[in-house]
Amino acid sequence: MRNFGAAVAAAAIFSKAALAAVDPIVIKGSKFFYQTNGTQFFMKGIAYQQEYAPNGGSTSANSTNTDYTDPISDSSSCERDIPYLQQLGTNVIRVYAIDPTQSHDKCMNALADAGIYVIADLSAPGQSIIRSSPSWNDDLYTRYTTVVDALAGYTNTLGFFAGNEVTNNATNTDASAFVKAAVRDTKAYIKQKNYRTIGVGYATSDDADIREQVADYFDCGNDRASAIDFWGYNIYSWCGNSTYEESGFDQRTAEFLNYNVPVFFAEYGCNEVEPRTFTEVEALYGDQMSPVWSGGIVYMYFQEANNYGLVSVSGNSVSTLADFGYLSRQIAAVTPSSVNSADYNPTNTAAAACPSVGSQWAASNNLPPTPNRELCQCMYSALTCVPHDISLEEAGDLFGTVCGLGANSDVCAGITNNATTGNYGAYGMCNATEQLGWALNAYYLAQPGNNRASACDFGGSATTKASVSPTGQCKSLIAEAGPQGTGTVTSAPTATGGSSGSRSSGSGSGSGSGSGNAAPRVGSKAVFGTEIAIATYLSLAFVSGVCMIFL
């Protein structure tokens, strides 16, 4: 049952007339600091999102539901839960998907009053980088930038994750190129919009075969514009009464000893032994690990089907579970060694060379182009042959047909997305409909004039339309892309972000995903969202060389 003292504390938090601001967290070298006084900041975090699995899935096994509840737009839930988060000593929550059309003022300000920061994943179900068929396109760019717009104004927004476990084994390392492009473009957008500096990072799984390559890839080279600002590690190797050595924490700490951006546990809390006594907390914040790690985020606040909860929630009633008490006591007992920003002179540097493409690594450091919705819309308006409004299966067959027509396969050069070779068509970042239109139109134009009438039919799946001749900026963009769509477009997208809904007002505590497609601690593997599902199907159809010709 709900604690009366907790209810009183919650009422006090939400009754304040003045809206609170907290000292922003900034990054210097491999550590976090409070901006004003330079005190080092260690995350004592909790994952906080009900009915949602971290990799783009529902917590219900085999679900294809794309709905989710934004945990920081629901002020009544914040009012209910903040006192319990305070009992756990929480100073950070991780949220996996927010709705940027909603207002977050009440909850973000209540969290600020409680001294709690937010680190948010930029993706959502149906709007994430899918590891099995990755892309970084204009729809995803809009999703990411609208989330930035929604949260950048709050001083207790600590940072953003551009992806979560997107690459999780040696078979899908190519997907990392698309996430790194998302890091690059999100950082550029924050700068372009003149928001305060907010870090953009990545949350990785603990895969022994590629853990070092992944960490190096996102931080390598001298191009800091595309490098991560911080590194999150989802790690579950300390189970029950393990030890520093048995868990491998000693090896992970040694591996990141010279890493040049902050590292922390983005998820931890193995539940193979229950109740969880969280003996790893003493190690994580102790003398051996705290010089390297900036704390961590326990998975997870809510008790769901995956059985990782600290509390059980029913309506407005909260019941603490055994894990809650153990974690609360462990967190209260730690005092990590720290350094003041003024006394800290970082010496770590990024790896000079990125991982080489080979049998264990398939992502080139030549990244996909920045999504440019204006270019994609201009291109589509200029097309003569376009697809009808067709089903997913029909679209997949049609894509496989037009891209698999032997000598005419170059019609798809403009929509190529090959992260291993580093070759990308100018329109490879457009959405699935726009890409399919480009391919159909390129095939149509390649046919002799007297055959064109039937070249845009494909069994009734495509049709001709009046094209719009590009002018002005639109014409310049298409000229950069070139007639085959293989040119490099250097014009940046307009910094408008998304057009959806409300944004943070700036009157509160501020001054103005991807995720992969599996839920590893639930076992479900599903692809969410019609647009991404279409893109996935089209990619698979092209790879398999489907040639169902409807001429």
DSSP calls for 182-200: HHHHHHHHHHHTTPPP-EE
pLDDT for position 550: 31
pLDDT for position 266: 98
Q: Is residue 517 part of a domain?
A: no
pLDDT digits (tens, 9 = 90+) for 401-454: 888 764 455 889 999 999 999 999 999 999 888 999 999 999 999 888 877 878
Alpha-carbon distance of 501 to 100, in angstroms, equals 7
Higher pLDDT, 515 or 215: 215
Q: Is residue 540 part of a domain?
A: yes
Active site residue 480: no
CATH code where residue 91 lies: 3.20.20.80
Residue with tokens 């001298």: 222
Q: Is residue 311 part of a domain?
A: yes
pLDDT for position 389: 82
354, 384, 410 - which closes a domain: 354
pLDDT digits (tens, 9 = 90+) for 103-128: 999 999 999 999 999 999 999 999 99
Residues 327 and 392 in one domain: no
Residue with tokens 């003996």: 279
Instruction: Decide: helix, strand or coil at residue 320.
Output: strand
Instruction: Decide: helix, strand or coil at residue 5.
Output: helix
Q: In the structure, what pLDDT confidence band is assigned to residue 66 with cuts at 50, 70 and 90?
A: low
Out of 51, 212, 267, 531, the active site residue is: 267
Report whether 326 contacts 269 (CB < 8 A).
Answer: no
Q: Is residue 511 part of a domain?
A: no
- Flag the least confident range among 43-57, 281-295, 368-382: 43-57
Instruction: Decide: helix, strand or coil at residue 396.
Output: helix
Instruction: Residue count of the chain, please give it.
Output: 551
Q: In the structure, what pLDDT confidence band is assigned to residue 500 with cuts at 50, 70 and 90?
A: very low
Higher pLDDT, 238 or 457: 238
Residues 314 and 411 in one domain: no
Q: Is residue 313 part of a domain?
A: yes
Q: Is residue 298 part of a domain?
A: yes
Residues 382 and 339 in one domain: no
Report whether 270 contacts 239 (CB < 8 A).
Answer: yes
pLDDT for position 54: 60
pLDDT above 60: residue 547: no
Alpha-carbon distance of 486 to 162, in angstroms, equals 27
Q: Which domain covers residue 130, as residue numbers?
A: 4-354
pLDDT above 50: residue 269: yes
Out of 79, 165, 304, 434, the active site residue is: 165
Bridge pairing between strands 462-464 and 385-387: antiparallel
Q: In the structure, what pLDDT confidence band is assigned to residue 516 with cuts at 50, 70 and 90?
A: low
Residues 335 and 442 in one domain: no
pLDDT for position 21: 82
Residue with tokens 């790194």: 180
Alpha-carbon distance of 136 to 84, in angstroms, equals 38
Residues 322 and 397 in one domain: no
Q: Is residue 457 part of a domain?
A: yes
Most confident of 217-226, 231-240, 486-495: 231-240
Report whether 351 contacts 231 (CB < 8 A).
Answer: no
Residues 206 and 316 in one domain: yes
Alpha-carbon distance of 88 to 44, in angstroms, equals 9
> Residue 171 carries which side chain, given as an amino acid letter?
T
pLDDT for position 140: 96
Alpha-carbon distance of 135 to 523, in angstroms, equals 24
Sorted by sequence, the CB contacts under 8 Å of residue 440 that are 6+ apart come out as: 383, 385, 386, 387, 398, 402, 456, 458, 462
pLDDT for position 263: 98
Q: Which region holds residue 56: left if phi is over 0, alpha if psi is between -120 and 50, else beta?
A: left
Residues 324 and 423 in one domain: no
Task: Taking residues 460-484, report their average pLDDT.
Answer: 93
By CB neighbour count within 10 A (0-12 exposed, 13-18 middle, 19+ buried), where does 21 fall?
middle
Q: In the structure, what pLDDT confidence band is assigned to residue 490 with cuts at 50, 70 and 90?
A: confident
pLDDT for position 358: 94
pLDDT above 80: residue 83: yes
pLDDT for position 536: 42
pLDDT digits (tens, 9 = 90+) for 297-328: 999 999 999 999 999 999 999 999 999 999 99
Active site residue 434: no
Residues 348 and 401 in one domain: no
- Nearest CA to 298 out of 270, 268, 324, 322 is that of 268
pLDDT above 50: residue 289: yes
Residues 319 and 455 in one domain: no
pLDDT above 60: residue 95: yes
Higher pLDDT, 33 or 501: 33
Q: How many domains are contained in the chain? A: 2
Alpha-carbon distance of 108 to 496, in angstroms, equals 23
By CB neighbour count within 10 A (0-12 exposed, 13-18 middle, 19+ buried), where does 273 fall?
exposed
Residues 184 and 57 in one domain: yes
pLDDT above 90: residue 503: no
CATH code where residue 378 lies: 1.20.58.1040
Residues 103 and 138 in one domain: yes
Q: What is the percentage of the chain residues whose pLDDT exceeds 90?
A: 72
322, 354, 386 - which closes a domain: 354
pLDDT for position 491: 79
pLDDT above 80: residue 394: no
pLDDT above 60: residue 63: no
Q: Is residue 226 part of a domain?
A: yes
304, 324, 354 - which closes a domain: 354
Q: What is the mean pLDDT of the chain?
A: 85
pLDDT for position 1: 39
pLDDT digits (tens, 9 = 90+) for 7-60: 444 444 444 434 568 999 999 999 999 999 999 999 999 999 997 766 443 333
φ, ψ for residue 416, nearest 5 deg: -65, 140
Alpha-carbon distance of 311 to 430, in angstroms, equals 43
Residues 488 and 341 in one domain: no
